[in-house]
Amino acid sequence: MTMSFSAPLVKIQSLHKSYGPHIQVLKGLDIEMKPGERVVVIGPSGGGKSTLLRVMMGLEKIDSGSISFGGKPYISSESADRKTEIDTEVRRSIGMVFQHYTLFPHLSVIQNLILAPCKVRGESRASATKRAQALLERFGLGAKANAYPAQLSGGQKQRVAIARALMLDPKLMLFDEVTSALDPELVAEVEQVILQLAAQSMPMMIVTHDMWFAKNIASRVIFCAGGVVVEDGPPEQVLGAPKEERTRDFIDRVFHIRH
Amino acid sequence: MGYSFDFQSVSFGPLWEGLIVTLELTVAANLIGVVLGFPLALLIMSRFAPVRLPAMLFVEFFRCTPAIVQIVWFFYCVPMLFNVFLGSMTMGILALGLNLMAFNAEAYRAAIQAVPREQLDAGIALGLNPLQRTLYIVLPTAVRASIPVLLTNGIGIFQQTALVAIVAVQDLMYQAKSLATETYRPIETFTIVALVYFAVSFPVSQVVGFLERRRQLMMS
């Protein structure tokens, strides 16, 4: 048994999820994440990485298993009616950033940032706007507060999306392939922002295909394939000297492509 | 062609009065269509069959019968069935308004369904509840997206107003028919009337084109 100071922040137990009767994406996933950890999830497409994050955010129903956050179960399946129970209070302490920015196109940057704090938490407009402006300044977007998403570059949109998620003071951030849709020259500015958060010891789980970024940011790397955890360990091990055959194959192929 | 044109004998007074009536019909029908079309769209998307099916039947009735039949039916059958007649103008507005409401509901439905799934996911991730997601994400996006179709339907109904002339609403077409008969100048009269309809519709259709081009830019 681990001692209390390293009690898990997230505990995922025997998570099963399928799309329709034939496509089983998660086949009994077990992951424990400690506070302050930065977990990078890598693996082949269709291996269940994005589904894992979507399930953690409550965007997908699960078939069986459970997830708890800070010791409190917040997602579980009621096997009787196959209904997924989600505790909204806990879910609100988790922020998520998606591959395709998902900024609301009809709202300006600042309106995108203050929508949820004002509507969900009942924060006053003035106070939310003040916090939003400070966040934008920090991310080098101070001048873009009144711009609309269509007027921003991909990298700027993604930085706004990160700022928007941070407005709710999350205790855990989920990043789902946030640089995959970006032009190569815009990737660095987004990764920089995530590294900034890492420096402030924000716990995060990151799904990425960018192995260099994974190396830089991870405190732990999980290789996920076929809906299960194949290998789990520090980045030097999983990325540098993987123990499992399947991990080694994958790492070889990915790094080979990048050279 | 031995016809000698004589635009002098076409008097513009009655045509002007007719145009005013036509515009009144158009504006009133559009108010009904634009405002009530949205709740109707929500009804046809309802998960509950007892709500959805009557709404769908309503929409399909108006989409699958000729407008002229709907107008005639309204003028002759509604008074006989329900023993109410609200004046020809009101009946005209109702017939055209309900017709437009059905078409606009379809426009709204398509736009609501076109709101990307990721937008709603982002809403969930930000903790917005279903009502908040509808109000702050779906509604503004869908209304904006449907504006070109609403305008197209709107000018469509502007042209359909000509049909109410057959039930004695004194619109532009009605005045034109009377004038043509009185002056024996059908070519001149109907040419002018066609130009008037065109002059009103054309700018609107240009606006539609502009909005669609701008929207494509916004989405890219």
The pLDDT tens digits for A44-59 are 887 888 999 999 998 8
Of A100, A105, A120, the CB nearest to B126: A120
Q: Looking at residue A146, what DSSP letter applies?
A: T
Report pLDDT for A226: 87
Of B121, B136, B144, the CB nearest to A115: B136
**A80-94 mean pLDDT:** 75
pLDDT band at A152 (very low <50, low <70, confident <90, very high): very high
Task: Tell me whether residue B190 is exposed, middle or buried, using C-beta atoms within 10 angstroms of its C-beta: 0 to 12, 13 to 18, 19 or more.
Answer: middle
Task: Report chain A's mean pLDDT, rounded to a whole number.
Answer: 87
Report pLDDT for A146: 93
In chain B, residues with a C-beta closer than 8 Å to the C-beta of A119 are: 128, 132, 136
- For residue A235 the two structure tokens come to 């980045």
Report pLDDT for B178: 86
Cα torsion A123, A127, A129, A133 to 10°: value is -130
Domain that holds residue B84: 12-219
Q: Output the domain CATH number for residue B73.
A: 1.10.3720.10
Q: Which CATH number fits domain A36-56+90-258: 3.40.50.300, 3.50.50.60, 3.30.1490.20, 3.40.1180.10?
A: 3.40.50.300
Nearest partner of A165 among B123, B94, B144, judged by Cα: B123
Q: Do B124 and A59 touch (CB under 8 A)?
A: yes
Assigned domain for B184 exists: yes
Q: Do B119 and A119 touch (CB under 8 A)?
A: no
Report pLDDT for A259: 44
Assigned domain for B4 exists: no
Q: Do A106 and B144 touch (CB under 8 A)?
A: yes
pLDDT at B9 over 80: no
Using CA atoms, how far apart are residues A28 and A52, in angstroms rounded to an integer? Answer: 11
Of A58, A150, A161, the CB nearest to B124: A58
Q: Do B128 and A116 touch (CB under 8 A)?
A: yes
- For residue A89 the two structure tokens come to 């209070």
pLDDT at A255 over 50: yes
**Contact A114/B150 with Cβ under 8 angstroms?**
no
Task: Report chain B's mean pLDDT, rounded to a whole number.
Answer: 87
pLDDT band at A107 (very low <50, low <70, confident <90, very high): very high
DSSP string of B86-129, one letter each residue: --HHHHHHHHHHHHHHHHHHHHHHHHHHTS-HHHHHHHHHTT--
pLDDT at B40 over 90: yes
Assigned domain for B1 exists: no
Range picked from A15-24, A75-84, B96-105 for highest mean pLDDT? B96-105
pLDDT in tens, B159-194: 888 888 888 788 888 888 888 888 888 888 888 889
pLDDT at A3 over 50: no
pLDDT at A80 over 80: no
**A117-142 mean pLDDT:** 93
- For residue A73 the two structure tokens come to 């179960």
Report pLDDT for B81: 86
Chain A contacts in chain B segment 114-133 (CB below 8 A): 116, 118-119, 121-122, 124-128, 132
Of A103, A161, A168, the CB nearest to B127: A168
Cα torsion A147, A150, A151, A156 to 10°: value is 90
Assigned domain for B19 exists: yes
Assigned domain for B6 exists: no
How many Cβ pairs within 8 Å bridge chains A and B? 59
Report pLDDT for A5: 55
